[in-house]
């Protein structure tokens, strides 16, 4: 399936099964702070765990962070969505390692 550009970016970090709620909160907070620092990012919000339905198999260790970018006219010159996602991956990985 080809990549889709539907306007938002879904970032899905994971932790080890059985991580404490306090650790999950930290895993949610750190990337959110790093992502919000990007000038192309309008809003960031993350959730952990499952919805209140029997059809959602996600555990507390599965995190979904939705990134809503600003309009492309406000992005840095010549920055593609692919390059932005690569920068996001790199920044979160570096930031998470520095804060552990």
Phi, psi of 62 (to 5 degrees): -95, 120
From first to last of the 100 residues of the chain, give the pLDDT tens digit: 677 778 888 888 777 777 888 888 887 888 889 999 999 999 998 888 766 667 766 677 778 889 999 999 999 999 998 899 999 999 988 876 555 4
Residue 65 tokens read as 């962070």
Instruction: Give CATH for domain 9-99.
Output: 3.30.70.1430
- Domain residue spans in the chain? 9-99
* Residue 35 contacts residue 65 (beta carbons within 8 Å): yes
Phi, psi of 30 (to 5 degrees): -60, -55
Read off the pTM: 0.77
* Residue 15 contacts residue 23 (beta carbons within 8 Å): yes
Q: Does residue 91 sit in helix, strand or coil?
A: helix
Residue 14 tokens read as 């994971």
Using CA atoms, how far apart are residues 36 and 74, in angstroms rounded to an integer?
15
Using CA atoms, how far apart are residues 15 and 100, in angstroms rounded to an integer?
13
């Amino acid at each position: 399936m080809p990549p889709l550009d539907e306007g938002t970016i879904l970032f899905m970090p994971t932790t080890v099964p059985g991580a404490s709620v306090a650790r999950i909160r930290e895993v949610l907070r750190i990337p959110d702070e790093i992502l919000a620092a990007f000038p192309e990012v309008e809003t960031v919000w993350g959730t952990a765990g499952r919805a209140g339905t029997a059809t959602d198999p996600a555990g507390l260790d599965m995190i979904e962070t939705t990134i809503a970018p600003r309009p492309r006219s406000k992005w840095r010159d010549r920055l593609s969505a692919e390059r932005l996602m690569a920068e996001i991956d790199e920044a979160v990985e570096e930031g998470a390692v520095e804060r552990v």
